[in-house]
Amino acid sequence: MTVLVTGAAGFIGFHLASTLLDRGERVVGVDNFIHFYEPALKRARAAELQTRDGFVFHELDVADAAGLEALLERYPEIDRVLHMAGQPGVRHSIEKPWEFQRSNIDGQLAMVEAVRKRPGFKHLVFASSSSVYGDSKDVPFALDNPADRPRSLYAASKRAAEHIAAAYSHLYGTPITALRFFTVYGPWGRPDMASFLFIDAVLRGNKLFLFNGGALKRDFTYIDDIVAGVLAALDRPPAPDSEGLRYAVYNLGNHRTVDVRDFVKVIEKACGRKALIEEAPMQPGDVHVTYADISASTRDLGYVPRTPIEQGIPLTVAWYKRHYGLN
């Protein structure tokens, strides 16, 4: 059968589509190339996928409910969905709140409404975020930690997407899994993320801004580990719980927290250059720490992250140099 991957030209969606193709799946990819960051990088990812047998691509906004339903009708063989499309960015959500409602809430509603009508549909897996935990002081972040104090509209929109999914699973029995990602990095990464920004600054000799003076901790998770966790979830639709609900939530992180200043040191070593550091204040909507409790993911999905930053960062730097033609 066939997997629909939304946000296929995005960072995580691109890697998921590539790995699905590697294992012999047919993939339908969609993306609307929203201009949150340089469209050229998204176009390059999409072009890379379009060289692969078994992949077809459609430019589509998943919040276009009629367009999404028409696409699914065109491909009746689609029986699973990896819904990675959405508007990312904690700080950007403060400036462009309506974009986040459309992408992350309207898009989620369009998706669950579309798949619940499909006979024989097997599983919807969608991207949530560690941001739903807010600035929690209870670490590591466990699934039973409160997620009712969002620090940004981005976090609120992802939590809303989880509630929408749970409601639809309850109403229609749709098997749905939410995955809370923790600070994903790696080749083809998003230019707004710390790993990309830091590598870019160090290699080009530009200032590297450390918010809150770098006194932040993050659970940096390499893309290959995330892909392994997502596909493990895809292959294991949730069984009915005690109330008959076929809905599950998991954390996907590295299960270790790294001081951002130490993260910069690893980047400096991989780049062979020192960073020009400038300290900056804490940003609105940001949090002090992210740290995943992955015990449920390990128990149910066999998820075991294997890539420390000392391995993942050099791989990311090597890709960056190749892609942008830097020595």
> By C-alpha distance, which of 253, 262, 249, 265 is closest to 306?
253
168 is known as an active-site residue: no
Q: Counting Cβ atoms within 10 Å, is residue 166 exposed (0-12), middle (13-18) or buried (19+)? A: middle
| C-beta of residue 163 within 8 angstroms of C-beta of residue 215 | no
**What is the 8-class DSSP label of residue 143?**
T
Peptide bond before 97: cis, by omega within 30 degrees of 0?
no
User: φ and ψ at 206, to 5 degrees?
Assistant: -95, 170
Q: Counting Cβ atoms within 10 Å, is residue 178 exposed (0-12), middle (13-18) or buried (19+)? A: buried
List helix spans (H) across the chain.
Answer: 11-22, 39-49, 65-74, 90-95, 97-100, 107-115, 153-172, 194-204, 223-234, 260-271, 295-301, 309-324
> By C-alpha distance, which of 186, 265, 180 is closest to 222?
186
From the list 37, 154, 247, 320, the catalytic residue is 154
> By C-alpha distance, which of 138, 134, 184, 140 is closest to 154?
134
Cβ contacts of 272 within 8 Å, gap of 6 or more: none
Q: How far apart are the first and last CA of the chain?
A: 43
Tokens 């296929």 belong to residue: 8
Active site residues: 154
